Amino acid sequence: MKLDAKIPEGPLEQKWTKYKSSVPLVNPANKRNLNIIVVGTGLAGASAAATLAEMGYQVSAFCFQDSPRRAHSIAAQGGINAAKNYQNDGDSVHRLFYDTIKGGDYRSREGNVHRLAEVSTNIIDQCVAQGVPFAREYGGTLSNRSFGGTQVQRTFYAAGQTGQQLLLGAYSALERQVGLGNVKMYARHEMVEVVKIDGKARGIIARNLVSGKLERYFGHAVLLCTGGYGNVFYLSTNAMGSNVTAAWKAHKAGALFGNPCFTQIHPTCIPVSGHYQSKLTLMSESLRNDGRIWVPKKQGDTRHPNDIPEEERDYYLERRYPAFGNLVPRDIASRAAKERCDAGYGVGPSKMAVYLDFKYNMMNKYGRAEATKHGIANPDDETLLRLGKDIIKEKYGNLFDMYKQITAEDPYEVPMRIYPAVHYTMGGLWVDYELQTTVPGLYALGEANFSDHGANRLGASALMQGLADGYFVIPYTIGNYLSKEIHTKPIPTDHEAFEEAEKRANERISGFLKIKGTRTVESYHRELGLIMWDKCGMARNEKGLKEAIEQIRALREDFYKNVRVPGSDSGFNPELDKAGRVADFLELGELMCLDALAREESCGGHFREEFQTEEGEAMRDDDKFLSVFAWENKGNNDYELHREDLNYENIKIQQRSYK
């Protein structure tokens, strides 16, 4: 299979402009006769559904939660990047483009990323127009802060709830279209099959999670905006319901899966505290603006952190990466934390944690400034701390409260204990420049696609990409496909392709109930997560990956013999929903390991222990692996690898350095 990314010809800066002005259009009268299915209502899905409906298309939107407003985009904390250069600090579209390519360790497409940087500015305008209450300065202008892997301030934010505010903006736009009758909203519905007719995506089978019934929906095109698959690791910062099912069914229906092993492990999460733990909680990257990361210089030091004197602390990020310090990108910060803990310097009861300490900046950065402002000469430490605490509270209060609620420790008094956790997946369905998968008429947007972040995503770029895809990319690119579909009449859902897809889904779902084994779905998920975390997590090697593949196969076999799913397939049955999702994770996990095994290099979040520099940094192999790995599902857990070579015409590829 020859993969064509369909990147427009011409200079980088003009590709998108030229594309927009030459892409075929669909006239307003024809739009009213075209149906589009949108699965998922996070930032990508809600923005796409709303915008396409505004344009006149007939949209049906689906989410598995009880309301489109619950999608996990809501939990994004820190911010959204945009190349506005409001701070006059040298930002530009090119710089955002460059930072994103470099941050992704040179494994993403120039054309896509440049487009993302271009539309980033429109996103902020659109959100403000919707009434999204971003943080502002006293003069009334928008406020910005810094995120990892950049040296400018381009991150727009709304306290620690940026994702919530952006999603509620997109949700309100979506609900407006629901009220106008342009979007039909199906909450508590889960997509379980893609329906293909003559090779094109023509609809979906969705399961009504309240009644348990399978329902058929036709669409001239299907958009998957279903998020990432971090929950394959069981413990992650994802919501409990986040899953790969829709994307996986698309994959099995012919859509190639791009770079499945590219996983983002976020460096600052609250550590695991017990075997019952169901999820991990993120502490925003924005905290690294003011928090310093350290471990004791002595191995196995059990002293209270406040009793360890300054000279006996190792601020290892500042030591190893003086140019970026605590604000190195996520993959680098995570690996460095693991290295210290593995070497025996970890802290806390589990010894798998490092300190994130605000005391220094509370006193010296904010406390001192406040003292000067209030005319306090020679303030003592206590005064500095008191003054600085108020500023820290204003900036991060909700995060500090959340930390205290979970750990019962007060981060104003003692340093936070943090450890890396699975957070985001750069991999996803392979899409071309138009966001179309290898199945005509089937698109993937937001985290569900693989496209823009290479091997590591920079902080505050996920919100940007989700909204870029939904508000500003798909409304144009879908025209290229739908302009050729204006003669296609809606296909009745008693068509045999719908019959067959529904039958497949029905057999699979009732199959889970028939096993009547002894083990809970949860226990399989937990076991899979442990295998993935140990062998396909922050560090990977050939031996471990091969073992993992064998273990996953055995676990999957056991699942189909011994799982116990209670209840029936009629009525509300969350355990049955979960069984379907875990069954898909049991297949995806193997593919992730295969991908990690095949990519014999280290890049971004993918760290193969065999390929590292003397200083323990990721060592890429651009001669062999300057390419996207796109996997074709051949059935029966058999996969064929296809490659899309990446061409860098504008950026000079270098060893990524933050030193």
Tokens of 74: 């809501």
Label the pairing between strands 58-62 and 183-186.
parallel
**Among 20, 200, 564, 642, which residue sits at the site for another protein (rule: CB under 8 A)?**
564
81 binds another protein (CB under 8 A): no
Which of these ranges, 121-129, 498-506, 593-601, 609-617, lies near another protein under the rule CB under 8 A? 121-129
Under the binding rule (CB under 8 A), the answer on residue 231 touching another protein is no
Member of 24, 27, 89, 136 binding another protein (CB under 8 A): 136
**Is 342 strand, coil or helix?**
helix
Q: Which of 5, 38, 124, 582 binds another protein (CB under 8 A)?
A: 124
From 11, 129, 496, 654, residue interacting with another protein (rule: CB under 8 A)? 129
Residue 473 beta carbon to another protein: minimum distance, rounded to whole angstroms: 11
Binding positions for another protein, 58-77, rule CB under 8 A: 65-70, 72, 74-75
What 296-305 contacts at long range (C-beta under 8 Å, 24+ apart), as own/partner pairs, is 296/345, 296/347, 297/345, 298/345, 299/343, 299/344, 299/345, 300/344, 300/351, 301/345, 301/347, 304/414, 305/347, 305/355, 305/357, 305/414, 305/415
* C-alpha R_g of the chain: 24
Number of residues in the chain: 659
What are the backbone angles phi and psi of residue 347, rounded to the nearest 5°? -125, 175
Q: Tell me which residues in 1-30 interact with another protein (CB under 8 A).
A: none
How far is it, in rounded angstroms, from Cα 315 to Cα 293?
Answer: 6
Measured from the CB atom, is 153 or 326 closer to another protein?
153
Residue among 408, 492, 496, 645 that touches another protein (CB under 8 A):
408
* Residue of 314, 346, 317 lying closest to 330 (CA atoms): 317
Cβ closer to another protein: 274 or 492? Answer: 274
Runs of H (alpha helix) within 133-264: 162-179, 245-252
Binding region for another protein (CB under 8 A) out of 287-295, 432-440, 451-459, 565-573: 565-573
Residue from 142, 414, 619, 653 touching another protein (CB under 8 A): that is 142
Residue window 384-403: x/- pattern of binding to another protein, with contact defined by CB under 8 A: -----------------xx-
The distance of closest approach from Cβ of residue 283 to another protein in the complex, given in angstroms and rounded to an integer, is 11
Among 22, 302, 378, 405, binds another protein (CB under 8 A): 405
Give, as ranges, the residues between 574 and 613 that touch another protein (CB under 8 A): 574-575
- Residue nearer to another protein on the CB measure, 559 or 631: 559
CB of residue 583 to another protein, shortest distance in Å: 16
Cβ closest to another protein, residue 317 vs residue 579: 579
CB of 28 or CB of 349, closer to another protein: 349
Nearer to another protein by C-beta: 239 or 626? 239
Site for another protein in 416-475 (CB under 8 A): 471-472, 475
Closest by Cα among 528, 530, 654, 637 to 589: 528
Identify the CA nearest to 337 among candidates 360, 324, 320: 320
Task: Please give the single-letter amino acid code of residue 110.
Answer: E
CB 180 to another protein: min, Å: 9
Residue 374 vs residues 137, 362, 383: alpha-carbon distances, Å:
21, 16, 11
| Residues in 149-178 that interact with another protein by CB under 8 A | 158-159, 161, 163-165, 168, 171-173, 175-176, 178
Choose, by CB under 8 A, the member of 84, 189, 216, 220 that binds another protein: 84
Report the residue number, 240 or 343, with the smaller CB distance to another protein.
240
Shortest separation between residue 287's beta carbon and another protein, angstroms? 15
Q: Residues 100, 116: contact at Cβ < 8 Å?
A: yes
Distance CA 171, CA 185 (A): 11
Quote the DSSP letter at residue 56. Answer: T
Contacts of 278 (CB under 8 A, 6+ apart): 235, 240
The 10 Å CB-count burial string (b at 16+, else e) for 60-81 is: bbbbbbeebbbbbbbbbbbbbb
Q: Which of residues 346-365 bind another protein (CB under 8 A)?
A: 349
Please pick, from the candidates 130, 506, 627, 650, the single residue that binds another protein as defined by CB under 8 A: 130
Q: Does 567 bind another protein (CB under 8 A)?
A: yes
Count of residues interacting with another protein (CB under 8 A)? 84
Q: Which is nearer to another protein, 144 or 259 (CB)?
A: 144
Contact 189, 37 (CB under 8 A): no
**C-alpha distance across the termini of the chain, in Å:** 41
- Cα 495 → chain centroid: 36
Q: Which is nearer to another protein, 119 or 265 (CB)?
A: 119
Q: Which is nearer to another protein, 54 or 547 (CB)?
A: 54
Least distance to another protein, CB of residue 549, Å: 28
In terms of CB distance, is 51 or 461 closer to another protein?
51
**CA atoms within 13 A of residue 515's CA, in its CB half-sphere:** 22
The least CB distance from residue 247 to another protein, in Å, is 18
HSE (CB half, 13 Å, CA atoms) of 366?
19
Q: CB-based burial of residue 83 (10 Å sphere; 0-12 exposed, 13-18 middle, 19+ buried)? A: buried
Cβ of residue 245: shortest distance to another protein, in angstroms?
15
Q: Can you spell out the DSSP letters for 257-272?
A: EE-TT-EEEEEEEPPP
Asked if 523 is part of the footprint of another protein (rule: CB under 8 A), the reply reads yes
Q: Is the dihedral of CA 552, 553, 554, 559 positive or negative?
A: positive
Residues from 241 through 260 that contact another protein (CB under 8 A)? 241
Residue closer to another protein by CB (options 176, 252) is: 176
Of residues 285 through 344, those in contact with another protein by CB under 8 A are: none
Q: Is 652 helix (H, G, I), strand (E, B) or coil?
A: coil
Q: How far is the CB of 208 from another protein (least distance, A)?
A: 12
Question: Do the Cβ atoms of 455 and 330 come closer than 8 Å?
Answer: no
- Check: CB of residue 482 under 8 Å from CB of residue 26: yes
Q: Residue from 25, 210, 554, 641 that binds another protein (CB under 8 A)? A: 210
| Beta carbon of residue 352, minimum distance to another protein (angstroms, whole number) | 13
CB of 567 to another protein, least distance (A): 6
Q: Which is nearer to another protein, 20 or 546 (CB)?
A: 20
Residue closer to another protein (CB basis): 560 or 572: 572
- Among 187, 369, 376, 555, the residue binding another protein under the rule CB under 8 A is 187
Pull the structure tokens for residue 607. 């760290």
Closest distance to another protein from the beta carbon of 436 (Å):
20
CA 105 to chain CA centroid, Å, is 17
User: What's the token pair of residue 121?
Assistant: 């500015």
* Residues 314/299, Cβ–Cβ less than 8 Å: no
DSSP 327: G
Closer residue to another protein in complex, CB, 191/282: 282
CB 192 to another protein: min, Å: 19
Residue 277 beta carbon to another protein: minimum distance, rounded to whole angstroms: 7
**Dihedral (C-alpha) 18, 19, 24, 25: value to the nearest 10 degrees?**
-90
